[in-house]
Amino acid sequence: MAEFRPFEVSDVRFPTSRSLDGSDAMNPDPDYSAAYVTVPTSDGDAGNGFVFTIGRGNEVAASAIHAVEAMVVGLDVDEVLGDMGAFWRRLVSDSQLRWLGPEKGVMHMAVGAVVNAVWDLKARRAGLPLWALLAEMTPRQLVDLVDFTYLSDALTPGEALALLERAAAARTERMAHLRESGYPAYTTSAGWLGYSDEKVTRLVGEAVADGFTHLKLKVGADIDDDERRVKLVRGLVGPDVLISVDANQRWGVDEAIANVRRLTPHGVYWIEEATSPDDILGHRAIAEGVHPVRVATGEHVANAVIFKQLLASGAIDVCQIDACRVAGVNENIAILLLAAKYGVPVCPHAGGVGLCEVVQHLSMFDFVAVSGTTEGRWIEFVDHLHEHFEDPAVVTGGAYRAPRAPGSGARMLPDTLRDYSFPDGVVWTASADETTGNTHHTTG
């Protein structure tokens, strides 16, 4: 009988602020980071997961993962892997830890890291990539993963089951299609706010040459500059490439409506994070005010309860799940089911470090077993930091290639864990003056 052993938790940080990769109106100088957990078993296996952060406070997420540890160590591995729904409920409903959310923020993300690590382990033991493991579970098994307590006024277990059963018939052919053609991607690599026009022009050209038909630009610092940049890129790509914009929560509701209307003549596909991710009624007002521009949000939406309201009330046209914001795979399945019920396409947030690697599995599962389509759907792609992973995401011809290796994609390389460890890894000690993550450098 194998049981779970004490976690190894690493505070891993990448000095991305040195090149302004990832700069946007809300986050001018992120150091992409992970509070990374290894969940070992007594028979020598391990699963990996992480909380993604952008630098300072990564140690708080690591502390939260340790708080979850006591609920897991000593549990029977087979029993946990055999009822992942019960495991999720156990971790989310610990009464004392729940107080720190509830079901939001650092504590919820830490639960997500551990839940995801155990899914990684389950997929490795099954010898399957996570998306295929999920896509081969029966509709009933999938429904049992979800806690419907706060969701059933919008989606009952019976409705979820019916939805999954309808999609089940064509699973095999969709899996074959996925292995053949991959899953559509869009790119944000060209549009960071800290980049010069020259760099944007070069990167947009490269993106189109690489097969991308959908680009995203950061906006939200200055609307005149935003309009100029959208116009610039529209001029570069012509009318047939989709351009979405992302304000990273910088605007109030009325401001968002006015600003999006300024950008609309240049052809905007979606407006992302126009305002606070908690503002359901605000997003609905924005959706009414900027139609036909689509309203997108989700990377900072704390849990399925907020997603339920955004979806059921017509506040969003694009549902942007994140692999590491909610409490892991189970809660993201709940959100995929809600999105399918309301007919809203799921276009995951990715980038950062490791988010592409993990979230692709959820979209691929969604295609095979839930929504049954990739129409109007793309997974975000940002081309950096993939080299730190055992099984890096592969995007070619504007599409994510279906992972074939067992697991969830979350495992980092041992050298990375050593060199990027904060504050003692060589990347940080070699340039002690830059360890705060506060320094600004011109772009590389």
Closer to a second copy by Cβ: residue 97 or 417: 97
Tell me how far, at minimum, the Cβ of 30 lies from a second copy, in Å: 7
Distance CA 152, CA 402 (A): 33
Report in angstroms how near the CB of residue 65 gets to a second copy at its nearest: 9
Catalytic member of 214, 218, 341, 361: 218
Q: Which is nearer to a second copy, 230 or 274 (CB)?
A: 274
Judge whether 217 and 241 are in contact, CB under 8 Å: no
What is the spatial distance between Cα 151 and Cα 139, in angstroms, rounded to a whole number? 18
* Catalytic-role residue among 122, 308, 349, 386: 349
Q: What residues contact 323, with CB distance under 8 A and at least 6 apart?
A: 116, 332, 348, 350, 355, 358, 359, 362
Cα angle 106, 85, 374; round to 5? 80
**Of the two residues 3 and 94, which places its CB atom closer to a second copy in the complex?**
94
231: annotated active-site residue: no
Q: Let me know how long the chain is.
A: 444
- Residue holding tokens 């975000």? 380
CA 343, CA 340: separation in Å to the nearest integer? 5
CB 200 within 8 A of CB 227: no
**CB closer to a second copy, 49 vs 277:** 277
Rounded to the nearest whole angstrom, what is the least distance from the CB of residue 302 to a second copy in the complex?
Answer: 6
- Say if CB 430 and CB 9 are below 8 A apart: no
CB of 217 or CB of 302, closer to a second copy: 302
The yes-or-no answer on residue 300 being catalytic is: no
**Minimum distance from CB of 92 to a second copy (Å)?**
12
Two tokens, residue 259 = 């600003």
Q: Provide the pairing of β-strand 8-13 with 33-40.
A: antiparallel
Closer by beta carbon to a second copy, 294 or else 308: 308
Is residue 410 within 8 A of residue 129, CB to CB? The reply is no
Q: Residue 103 CB, nearest distance to a second copy (Å)?
A: 7
In the complex, the smallest distance separating the C-beta of residue 155 from a second copy, rounded to whole angstroms, is 11
Q: How far is the CB of 151 from a second copy (least distance, A)?
A: 8
Nearest distance from C-beta of residue 204 to a second copy, angstroms: 26
- Sign of the Cα pseudo-torsion (415, 419, 420, 425, in order): positive
Closer residue to a second copy, CB minimum distance, 100 or 168: 100
Contact residues for a second copy, defined by CB under 8 A: 26-31, 53-57, 59-61, 63-64, 67, 70, 94-109, 148-153, 249, 252-254, 275-282, 285, 300, 302-303, 305-306, 308-309, 312-313, 437
d(CA 360, CA 354): 10
Nearer CB in complex with a second copy: 63/213: 63
Catalytic residues: 218, 349
